[in-house]
Amino acid sequence: MSKNLKDFGIDKTLKNLGIKEENKGTSTGGKFFASGKTIESFSPVDGKLIAKIKSSGENDYYKVIDTAQKAFQEFRLIPAPKRGELVRQLAQKLRDYKDDLGKLVSYEMGKSLQEGLGEVQEMIDICDFAVGLSRQLHGYTMHSERPGHRMYEQYHPLGIVGIITAFNFPVAVWSWNAALALICGNVTIWKPSEKTPLCAIACQNIMAAVLKENNLPEGISSVLVADHVIGQKLVDDKRIALVSFTGSTRVGRMVSSKVAERFGKSILELGGNNAIIISKDADIDMSVIGAVFGAVGTAGQRCTSTRRLIIHESVYEEVKNRLVKAYGQLKIGNPLNEKNHVGPLIDTDAVKQYELSIKKCEKEGGKFIVEGEVLKGKEYESGCYVKPCIAEVKNSYEIVQHETFAPILYLIKYKTLEEAIAIQNDVPQGLSSAIMTQNLREAELFLSHAGSDCGIANVNIGTSGAEIGGAFGGEKETGGGRESGSDVWKYYMRRQTNTINYTAQLPLAQGIKFDI
């Protein structure tokens, strides 16, 4: 283990979370095992090796599936409030390990320590939400047209829920799915990003402790640290009732078609190309704060990151100048240092995409008012640190239509609100959107049928920072899936309509009679 880990206290964090120098990446809730290749987790913070992980092989996959199927037969029979108690205990464990898990998220993924801690808090929040929900998994009672009959509907568990997550939220997205899936009576199999495997192992250690303390069988919660080959098996497997996939639109399209071919269910959380409209009636102070946080938070690697600012021509120059000044004050560096605003990108491949996007923007005619660059020096030795940049563009540029997972912000000018909304909607993605205005008519138009076409539409807050109480997800190439709050629990269950005849007669449909 690198000496550098001791400088940040990461060595103690790893020990507390049960992570060693050499780890195995398959678990059904008990001990870890694995027979695949060895992968290495490097931190984008300093480029140092954190630990090695033996990944899941084909035989490991089949063992996990078999164990999960057996666990489901038992777990589905446990009353929902009792399953809620399991999730309540998970929330308590997460509170106990919040500092350690938040620090690991920050170090392995590269987001700021405060964001890492905030991500763990999201896990706690969704668990709390799910605990209450475990006593509210309701159906409806309907009046039958037939005398002496009662109709109602109820919801049943699906079975095995497969969860495939991305690197940018290495723990929260798992919890959004797992907390709801568990209270609904399902069992889960998690394939995390290969870029953040240690976060998944830490979560599985925490979950395994809860299962053991409750004398529950292995297979209720499983993890597969594996490559895309195992991921493909999970997508193709008919025994996986639901696949929740978070990642690129390109891969999501494949996942959707493969799962649909076998008549499975899928939840897709794909790309975002999010915009904030800044009206002539906006509070400029609020607007600049919201835009900067949305654009540079998590180094622009959130699916809800602000990519575009659509600014009214009358306030365009003021907003632009304020942004340039704000960007000049950003501190870029080690995300474990709370004085820094911006940490690294996830890896050097992401840095290459950042550079290519800047070049393409310039080639298409974009004018950079804050120049981008890859930062050099001892503090940036991982090679993953870049400077957030701003360009004046047209929405029609191909690069603007594309989602780049990096802190590149595009400025676009508009004249009328109808024009701004049309610009906002004129991209393939439809995740998050926002308008900054103190004009009630503008706010209502933005939220109306003629307004934003995104799954999330905000007024006087930015595009990122969604709460777990609301359904999270988007339309168009964002995939149409929903996770987290509201009535999303219904995605994790199958609906059944029941009719009970409590008479001595059997009336037949359409008035048909059989004289038997």
Query: Which are the contacts of 24, defined by CB distance < 8 A and separation ≥ 6?
Result: 32, 33, 34, 53, 54
The structure tokens listed for 324 are 């340039």
Alpha-carbon distance 394 to 250, whole Å?
Answer: 24
pLDDT at 229: 94
Alpha-carbon distance 169 to 34, whole Å?
Answer: 24
> What mean pLDDT value characterizes the chain?
96
Q: What is the mean pLDDT of residues 2-28?
A: 87
Reported as a single tens digit per residue, the pLDDT across 448-482 is 999 999 999 999 999 998 899 999 999 999 999 99
DSSP 216: P
Residue with tokens 């400025």: 411
Residue 495, helix vs strand vs coil: strand
Reported as a single tens digit per residue, the pLDDT across 41-87 is 999 999 999 999 999 999 999 999 999 999 999 999 999 999 999 99
Q: Cβ-count burial of 136 within 10 angstroms (0-12 exposed, 13-18 middle, 19+ buried)?
A: exposed
Reported as a single tens digit per residue, the pLDDT across 224-241 is 999 999 999 999 999 999
Cβ–Cβ < 8 Å for 241, 160: yes
Q: What is the identity of the amino acid at 121?
A: Q
Helix or strand (DSSP H, E) at 240: strand 240-246
pLDDT at 512: 77
Alpha-carbon distance 457 to 172, whole Å?
Answer: 21
DSSP 336: T
The single residue of 127, 184, 203, 303 carrying the catalytic annotation is 303
Q: Cβ-count burial of 350 within 10 angstroms (0-12 exposed, 13-18 middle, 19+ buried)?
A: buried
> Angle, nearest 10°, between helix axes 316-328 and 284-296?
50
Reported as a pLDDT band with limits 50, 70 and 90, residue 270 is very high
Whether residue 514 has pLDDT greater than 80: no
Q: What is the CA radius of gyration of the chain?
A: 25
Reported as a pLDDT band with limits 50, 70 and 90, residue 509 is confident
Cβ–Cβ < 8 Å for 389, 369: no
Alpha-carbon distance 62 to 45, whole Å?
Answer: 36
Strands of 26-27's sheet in order across: 32-33, 26-27, 221-224, 187-191, 160-164, 240-246, 265-269
Reported pTM = 0.96
Q: What is the mean pLDDT of residues 255-270?
A: 97
Alpha-carbon distance 217 to 72, whole Å?
Answer: 9
Strand-pair partners of 401: none
Whether residue 508 has pLDDT greater than 90: no
The structure tokens listed for 394 are 């047209």
pLDDT at 4: 59
Helix or strand (DSSP H, E) at 52: strand 49-54
Reported as a single tens digit per residue, the pLDDT across 351-390 is 999 999 999 999 999 999 999 999 999 999 999 999 999 9
Q: What is the DSSP string of 407-465?
A: SEEEEEEESSHHHHHHHHH-SSEESEEEEE-S-HHHHHHHHSTTS--SSEEEESS-SS-
State how far Cα 171 lies from the chain centre.
9
Reported as a single tens digit per residue, the pLDDT across 165-224 is 999 999 999 999 999 999 999 999 999 999 999 999 999 999 999 999 999 999 999 999
The single residue of 108, 269, 403, 483 carrying the catalytic annotation is 269
pLDDT at 483: 96
pLDDT at 5: 66
For residues 8, 11, 15, 16, the Cα torsion angle rounded to the nearest 10 degrees is -10
pLDDT at 513: 78
pLDDT at 1: 38
Beta strands per DSSP E along 102-202? 141-143, 149-157, 160-164, 187-191
Whether 303 sits among the annotated catalytic residues: the reply is: yes
Whether residue 340 has pLDDT greater than 80: yes
